[in-house]
Amino acid sequence: MRIALFGDIHANLEALNAVLEDAASQDCTDRVCLGDIVGYNANPGECLDLIREMECPVVKGNHDEDASGDHCLETMNPIAATALEWTREQLSDEQRKWLRTLRMVRQVSAFTMVHSTLDQPQAWNYVTNKFDAMSNFSYQFTHVCFHGHTHVPRVFVKDNRVREVAAELVEVEEDFKYFINVGSVGQPRDGDPRACYAIYDVPRNLIIFRRVDYDRKTTQQKILDAGLPPNLAERLSDGR
């Protein structure tokens, strides 16, 4: 069993298609989506339909929540809020209803999935260091938990203490716990503009991070054509 784990797609259809193709070429048999299907980029409805057709386990991201509700977005970063107002208009009532029904946390086979953290999934806290990861581990009852939200691939390991290890090839040890950020498909923020996702090779106890090139120019042009903030197109080139 090889599972492709991806999230923070953010309506980037070209990046999503490239990741799905790469996952197929890597013999992935299963897929899971860690939330934030929509927001920022220009193909929210298309990405949502594609994920839905796969019938894979999905958890809700903060942008999925904001795009599916009618609440005021005033307290949000103005660029993200502009994109979310636009996204609300693009989605049908039925698509927004589907986003609303997504669960915050799911357990799939032997692992857990959440968009942000297990201790307070609805608070959308960001995990950027081992201290942030500690509170999550108190609520993590499976060996491995996958998440997203910061758009930066990261691996936290807990044995008798919590530490961060490089987000490269991870050999999953029997006695440790792992809290793993799979990076972002549609808006990476670690300085590498390529789409990011992870593969969990269950029989070999390996987690593999993948970076995939995609047709960024098309995505950027669609953002500009839609009248979305140009900064959203520019940042895709920088991976920030």
Q: Give the interface with Zn ion as residue ranges (CB under 5 A).
A: 8, 36
Helix residue ranges, H only, 11-61: 13-25, 44-54
Residue 151 C-beta: closest distance to Zn ion, Å: 6
Q: Give the dihedral of Cα atoms 50, 53, 58, 62; nearest 10 deg.
A: 40
d(CA 143, CA 165): 16
| Closest separation in Å from C-beta 21 to Zn ion | 22
What the block records as the tokens of 110 is 């032997």
Q: What's the closest the beta carbon of residue 50 comes to Zn ion, in angstroms?
A: 17
CB-wise, 22 or 36, nearer to Zn ion? Answer: 36
Cβ-proximal residue to Zn ion, closest one: 36
CB of 7 to Zn ion, least distance (A): 7
Give the SS3 label for residue 225: helix
Q: At its nearest, how many Å lie between Zn ion and the CB of residue 10?
A: 6
- Which of residues 47 and 172 has its CB atom nearest to Zn ion in the complex? 47
**DSSP 8-state symbol, 204:** T
For Zn ion, which is the closer residue by CB, 36 or 66? 36
Angle, vertex CA 30, rays to CA 150 and CA 98, nearest 5: 65
Nearer to Zn ion, 77 or 221 (CB): 77
Copy the structure tokens of residue 103. Answer: 């669960």
Minimum CB distance to Zn ion smaller for 189 or for 211: 189
